[in-house]
Amino acid sequence: MHNINNFLYSVAIVCSLGSSLAIAAEPASTRTPFTPYLLSPGDVLEISVWKEEGLQKEILIRPDGGISFPLVGELQAGGKTAPQVQQLVAAQIKRFIPDPVVTVSVLKVNSKIFVVGKVLRPGEFIITQYADVMQALAMAGGLNPYAKPNDIKILRRIAVKEPAMSAESGKEIAMNFEYDDVSKGKSLDQNIILQNGDVVVVP
């Protein structure tokens, strides 16, 4: 009986370890990804400095992408993430306040996206909060019966600094989106957060 108990105990340990290993080996594609949101004109930020009542402001990003904040002056927020703006503000504020604790939050998103092709309601959509590809397709009424769900593309224009030019020019990239996989909880890295100006193309 003692040997049987030892055997059962060993089996229990092996099963437990097997379950743990199975959890640890979960494919990365089954986890929800994080895609940083790039700020754009019309977004509203809340910027605050801890213990400094006069340094808490709600700020609208101007059409040129710029913002103004006390002790900092002008800085470019458009095209950056909230943490990047936070670092820029902190770097300027510390000239006046030692070890400042700066917080930058996005209160309102004001982005324009487009869904075109074989959806029920193609068109332009204004989003006031973060939206991913699946949410954009839902706003467009979903796919129509003739859509090719696994050939969807997201078109995005990104700023590229040309070596011979001081200004930035736009370069368009295309990202794949396989609806069937994402709707089944697979390839979730394709379900990106959309940026201002993104175009979802459903063939």
Residue 163: the pLDDT is: 52
Q: Do domains 44-108 and 110-202 have the same CATH topology?
A: no
Q: What is the pLDDT confidence band of residue 24, given thresholds at 50, 70 and 90?
A: very low
Domain spans, the chain:
44-108, 110-202
Distance between CA atoms of residues 197 and 191, nearest Å: 16
SS3 string of 34-60?
CCCCCCCCCCEEEEEECCEEEEEEEEE
Look up residue 7 and give its two tokens.
Answer: 């055997």
Residue 156: the pLDDT is: 93
- Hey, CA dihedral for 34, 40, 43, 44, is it positive or negative? positive
Mean of per-residue pLDDT scores for the chain:
84
Residues 94-112 have pLDDT tens digits of 999 999 999 999 999 988 9
Please check whether residue 114 is in contact with residue 124, taking contact to mean a CB–CB distance below 8 angstroms: yes
Chain-centroid distance of CA 197 in Å reads: 14
- The average pLDDT across 166-188 equals 85
CATH number 3.90.600.10 is the correct assignment for the domain at 44-108: no
Would you give the end-to-end CA distance of the chain in angstroms?
68
Residue 20 has pLDDT above 80, yes or no: no
**Mean pLDDT lowest for which of 126-135, 167-176, 186-195?**
167-176
Which 8-state DSSP code applies to residue 132?
B
- The average pLDDT across 171-200 equals 94
Cα angle: 6, vertex 8, 12; to 5 degrees? 115
CATH architecture of the domain with residue range 110-202 = Roll (3.10)
Global pTM value: 0.66
User: Which of 42, 70, 7, 40 is CA-nearest to residue 198?
Assistant: 40
